[in-house]
Amino acid sequence: MRLSALLTAIAALAACTGGTGEAPQAAEASDRIDCAPAGAEVFGADCTFELAERDGENLIVVHNPDGSFHRFRIVDDGRGLEVADGAQPIALAYADGKMTVAIGGDRYVLPAIEREIHAAE
């Protein structure tokens, strides 16, 4: 059976390794993503991200311009991401090779690729 899913490939992140999973620090300017923090009506390249690893889990940490952040667990079950900390619900939408993540009034645009998954019948 062929299952089609959009999985986060976060290609720009693949070359990055090493976060500590500790208190996040601001990423380099080249690691900017489009975002609309709570209250913003339009998206701008104002947020940054970094990869981290904690207890064997691959994480992406997204930083808002005000210093707040969200930590997401990268999952390969077809969803792409799930919340790594806290209980706020997450909403994901996929279009044009990008994934829009909405959580707690913040919205982020992350790169994603479409990949075919083949499972044994």
> What is the pLDDT, as a whole number, of residue 17?
36
**Number of helical (H) and strand (E) elements in the chain, helices listed first:** 1, 10
Q: State the Cα–Cα distance between residues 13 and 106, nearest whole angstrom.
A: 21
pTM value surpassing 0.85: no
Domain boundaries, the chain: 2-17+27-118
Per-residue pLDDT tens over the stretch 2-39: 222 333 334 333 333 344 444 444 444 458 999 999 98
- Say if strands 44-54 and 57-63 run parallel, antiparallel, or are unpaired: antiparallel
Whether 47 has a pLDDT exceeding 70, the answer reads yes
> What is the pLDDT, as a whole number, of residue 44?
95
